[in-house]
Structure 1
Amino acid sequence: MKPLSVRQIRTTIAGELIQGSDHVIIHFGAYRLKQIKKSHTILFSSKKIINWEGLRRFFPLVLVTDQVFSKNGQSEDLTVIKVNNMEEAYWKFVHYYRSLFQIPVVAITGTSGKTTTKEMIRHILSADKNVTSTNSSNNSRTAHLHYLLSIDDDTEAAVFETAVGEPGDVRNAGQYFKPTIGIITNIGAHHLNYCKTLEAYIHAKGEMVSALNNAGLLILNAEDANSKKLDLKNFKGRIIKVGIDLSCHYKANDIRYCKDGMQFILQYEENTYPMFVPGFGVHQVYNALAAIAAVHEIGVDFPKIADRLKTFQNLNKHLQVFEGINGSTILDDTWSMTTTSLEAALNVLNELGKTKKRVAVLGTITDLGSWGYIIHEKAGEIVSEKGVDVLITIGEHARIMAEQAVKKGLNGQVYSFKNSPLAYELLSRIADDKTIVLIKGDMYSQAIIELAAKLRKKK
């Protein structure tokens, strides 16, 4: 955080100094007690704090409150600012702090590929810029203030994930970050337990338009069907499309699998540039295209982009390839589970497994609410369409996938288990050096994660 004095903040939020000093310097911010980790923190809170003794180790501390405050012998190391309206004061502070920095800020949303695209952008820019970003995929709305305050006078660019748990999430993130560039990687069907309908989920992702204040630069996947449904009629900024279509501003040609990743030719205007991105799958090329578009618009030239992109390290549990039990090949894709990422993973399985027995081990898709049955049926249709030699599902909801795949004509062996030990017992019998196993679930499925670890060859 850029250090600010109490006087600067108090003036900005129109607060009255009740206790303490205008000269205290603030280095951290919080709006919940548990977010206070160090001294020199400013806390915005309407709640009555009872246990001041438990907070003394963080003094000097600054409290902004709209409640009546009684000193009751409180230390002078506690500075208190009284405001008329807490929420209004908090957002004045947020908007003021963001206004201090005129830097490129990239915000990324999408059903799949957010973290990978964000990490690619961070990796490319960090070659010669001081970049702040979301940590891994920790994109909770409660972390927005922390990430905003990670911008300081040394920061030259920022890149943040803006996830959708429910409608309003992307718009809320935009209030903090005020991005200059927005990216929607793709829109599948997820978090329907809160969004209720696919249309509402698409609309929630489309909040990126308002996050950009209907200006700035919006990067879209030209081939993504649901992204084409976004209402962009009021968007006054620039729209850049990436993909393989002739209409794309950043277009990928001659996409090929190679050792450890994907090769493609980037076409921009009348020029072409050879590119390599670590990590398998055409979807990885789309992630790279979005990242390339963002960093090029920020000012990085294509030769430097190509050099940096080839040194990108693909993320843990994102279609990682390992040697597995009985000499088999394991594709560990246990980071997330959506129909969008499932289709991408099955494409990779089929490409890498052209001469092998293809086994898919699939867990449950979460955060679907009343849509659970329908989305699992859709997943089963995807499995049937892509085809595997052996399908193994784990969990009661995952069984729906297996049943639908069979119903739609999957030509392969199908097994449904309630738990992972039974799946491991089967795999230990059928896997050999001519077998490739995709294991896919999400980060919340401990059983799937543990099974993936057991399937790897022990070093």
Structure 2
Amino acid sequence: MKPLTAAYIRQIISGKLVHGKDDLLIHHGAYRLKQVKHPHTILFLQRKIVRWERLKPFFPLAIVTDRELEVSERNENLTIIKVENLQEAYWKFINNYRASINIPVIAVTGTSGKTTTKEMIRHLLSFNRKVAHTNSTNNSRTAHLTYLLGMDDTTEAAVFETAVGAPGDITNAAAYLKPTIGIITNIGEHHLNYCKTLEGYIAAKGEMCTALQPNGVLIINADDRNTKKLDLKSFTGTIITVGIHAKSDFRASDICFSHEGMYMTLEHQQRKYRMLVPGLGEHQIYNALAAIAAVHQIGMGLADIAVHFRTFPTINKQLQVVEGVNGATIIDDTWSITTTSLQAALRVLEKLGSNKKKIAVVGTITDLGSWGYVIHERAGEIIAESKIDVLFTIGKHAKIMAETVSKKGAAIEVHSFTNHIRAYELLKKMATEDTIILIKGDMFSDAIKQLSTLSRKRISG
């Protein structure tokens, strides 16, 4: 955070100095007690009673309040500022601080590919810029405040992941970050427990349009079916499209797999660039196209992008290919699962396993609420249309996928399990050097994670 005096902040929020010193230098901000972790923090405090012993280790400290505080001892290292309305004061502070940061800020949302696209952008920009960015997938309100105040005069660009768990999430993130470039990687079927319907989920993703500044840039996937349903009539900024099949501003063609990843020809403004995209799957090409469009928008040349992309490290447990039990090939894709990412993973399995026995091990899709049966049934339909040989499902709801595949009459051997132990026992019997196994689930599924770990342990053992 840029160092600011208590006096400067007090003027911004129209506050009155009740106690302490105006010249106290502020380096950190917080709106909850548990967020206070350093001295020289300004805390926007909603409580009336404070356990001062909890805060004393972080003195000198400034507190903004709209209440009368019960202070047992008047410490000179404590500054108290009184305001009429705490929430109004807080947002005046936030808006003023964001206005002082004049850099490109990229926000990435989408059903799948958010983290990879964000990491690609961070990787490319970091070669010649200091970049603020989302830490892993931490995109809560608390994190957004931390990211905003983490930017200062040395920050040259920022890229943040803005997930949708419920309507308003992107709008909330934008209130802090005010992105200048927004990316919607794709829109599948997820988080319907809060968004209620697919249309509600599409609308929640569409908040990116209003989150951007009037002259902002929106990057969208021209091939994505649900993205085409977004209402973009009122968007006054610039729209940039990426795609493989549809006509688009950044288009990939001549895609081929290699041991390094995938090669593609990037077509942009009637020029062509051959470049390597580390990772596997058509969805990874879309992630790369969105990242390329974003960094090119803020001045990075396509020739430089092609050079720097070669060193992008693929993310652990995202279609990670390793040797497995009995010499089989394992595709570990246990980072997350949606119907969109499941379909992408199955395509990779088909591509890599063209001459092998193909087994898919699939876990439960979470965060679906009352939509659980419908979405798992849809996942089953996707699997039934694939060219795999054997399906394992693990979990009560995942069994819906297995039942759907059987009902469809697909030529797929189907097995359902409630735990990973029995699944692994059968998997071990089936696995050979001529077998390729996709393990697909998310980081919150212990059964899937343990099965993946067990498979890897067999190798080193």
TM above 0.5, yes or no, is yes
Deviation sequence 1:400-436 (CA, Å, 0-9, x none)? 0110111122212110000000111111111010111
Tell me what 2:165 maps to: 165
Pair 1:384 & 2:405 matched: no
Which whole-Å deviations, capped at 9, do the CAs of 1:256-295 have from their partners, x for residues lacking one?
1111311100000111001111100011010000000000
Is 1:108 equivalent to 2:133 in the alignment?
Answer: no
Could you tell me which residue of structure 2 aligns to residue 362 of structure 1?
A: 362
Whether contact under 8 Å (1:260, 1:280) holds in the other structure is no
Deviations 1:185-235 (A, max 9, x none): 000011111111111000000000111034310000000011001011110
Equivalent-residue separation in structure 2 for 1:220 and 1:96 (angstroms): 30
- How far apart are the structure 2 equivalents of 1:321 and 1:260? 12
Q: Distance in 2 between matches of 1:137 and 1:47?
A: 30
Say whether 1:281 aligns with 2:281: yes
> Hey, what's the Cα distance between the residues in 2 that align with 1:410 and 1:78?
70
Gaps of 5+ in 2: none
Over 3 Å counting, the alpha-carbon distance change for 1:131 and 1:114 in structure 2 is same
Q: Retained in 2: the 8 A contact 1:139–1:161?
A: yes
Following TM superposition, by how much is the alpha carbon of 1:86 offset from its aligned partner in structure 2, in angstroms?
0.9
Distance 1:372 1:19, change over 3 A: same
Aligned length: 459
- Aligned match of 1:250: 250
Aligned residue for 2:410?
A: 410
Which residue identity lines up with residue 109 of structure 1 in the other structure? T
SS in 2 for 1:397: coil
Any idea what SS the aligned residue of 2:50 has? coil
Moved more, 408-417 or 310-319: 408-417
For the 8 Å contact 2:180–2:213, the answer to whether it is kept is no
Structure 1 match to 2:57: 57
TM-score (norm 1): 0.99
Q: Name the structure 2 match of 1:147.
A: 147
Offset at residue 341 of structure 1 (A): 0.3
TM-score by length of 2: 0.98
| Residue identity matched to 1:316 | N
Higher mean C-alpha deviation, range 330-339 or range 135-144:
135-144
Q: Write the distance in 2 (CA, Å) between the matches of 1:48 and 1:232.
A: 45
Corresponding position of 1:92:
92
DSSP 3-state at the match of 2:397: helix
* RMSD, aligned CA: 1.0
Partner-residue secondary structure (3-state), 2:314 = coil
Distance 1:260 1:410 in 2: 34
Would you say the 8 A contact 2:163–2:170 is kept in 1?
Answer: yes
Aligned twin of 1:348: 348
Deviation at 1:356, TM superposition (A): 0.7
Partner residue of 2:184? 184
Tell me how far 1:69 sits from its aligned partner.
1.9
Alignment-derived partner of residue 460 in structure 2: 458
Alignment of 1:65-80 (within 5 A): 65-80=65-80
Take 2:281 and 2:214, find their aligned partners in 1: how far apart are those partners?
Answer: 33
CA contact (8 A) 1:215 1:235 kept: no
Deviation, 1:35, is 1.1
Q: For the Cα contact (< 8 Å) 1:387–1:410, is it kept in 2?
A: no
Percent identity, aligned pairs only, is 61
| Distance in 1 (alpha carbons) for counterparts of 2:23 and 2:9 | 11
Contact 2:50/2:70 (<8 A) preserved:
no
Equivalent AA in structure 1 for residue 78 of structure 2: L
CA contact (8 A) 1:104 1:157 kept: yes
The 5 Å alignment of 1:180-219 reads: 180-219=180-219
Does 449-458 or 279-288 show the bigger shift? 449-458
1:68 Cα deviation from its structure 2 partner: 1.2
State whether residues 214 and 234 of structure 1, in contact with CA within 8 Å, keep that contact through their aligned partners in structure 2. no
Offset, 1:246: 4.9
Aligned equivalents of 1:43, 1:371: Cα separation in 2: 41
Amino acid at match of 1:165: G
Counterpart residue type for residue 87 of structure 1: Q
Q: Residues of 2 paired with 1:57 and 1:115: CA distance?
A: 36
Question: Cα offset for 1:51?
Answer: 1.1
